[in-house]
Amino acid sequence: MKITVVSDSHRNYHRLKQVVESNMDSDLFIHLGDGMLEVIDVSKLFPHKDFVFVRGNTDFITYKEERVVSAGGYRLFCTHGHNYNVSWELDSVIRRAHSKRCKIVLFGHTHVYKTECINGMYIMNPGSLDRPRGKNRPSYGTITISESGTVSMNIIAFKG
């Protein structure tokens, strides 16, 4: 199973559309907030693909701020991250994921990509598609879950 994870596209419809078009082999697309308008529009172009999204702190549409998704035998906790102080620490978001019986935590908000595994919890921030911070390029992430349950996470610098 392949999952494409994006965050913080900040109305960059064309870049989000390019990421989806470049990852048509993905089984699931997850948008972690601050870009709900464009993910709704892009998802309409690909009705045969599954899209999941959560609301970020700059999305002014009433929608869920966190979701639990089952994929590849894992439960994924999806949130933008602003409610969990992810710019400073990850303990709060990890505790919340544990309370939801999740093994994968996905968040955005910081505009800085990150992948790591802490005490068996897989953690990914795909960075920002539109406004990366630091010296990073715009980025997104992919998660591959093998049939045996092995998880691999990758960050892809946007080209285009």
CA distance 101 to 135: 35
How many CA atoms lie within 13 Å of 141's alpha carbon, on the beta-carbon side?
A: 30
Q: Give the pLDDT score at 22.
A: 95
How many CA atoms lie within 13 Å of 4's alpha carbon, on the beta-carbon side?
A: 22
Q: Give the pLDDT score at 16.
A: 95
Q: Give the pLDDT score at 7.
A: 97
- Residues 119-150 have pLDDT tens digits of 999 999 999 998 888 888 999 999 999 999 99
Q: Which residue type does 77 have? A: F
Among residues 23, 32, 37, the alpha carbon closest in space to that of 111 is found at 32
Alpha-carbon distances of 50 from 4, 17, 20, 44, 156, rounded to whole Å: 11, 14, 11, 10, 20
| pTM of full prediction above 0.85 | yes
CA distance 94 to 106: 10
- Residues 28-75 have pLDDT tens digits of 999 999 998 999 999 999 999 999 999 999 998 889 999 999 999 999
- The position carrying tokens 């998660």 is 143
- Residues 1-20 have pLDDT tens digits of 999 999 999 999 999 999 99
CA distance 44 to 53: 13
- CB within 8 Å of 47: residues ≥ 6 apart: none
Answer whether 39's CB lies under 8 Å from 9's CB.
yes
Q: Give the pLDDT score at 160.
A: 52
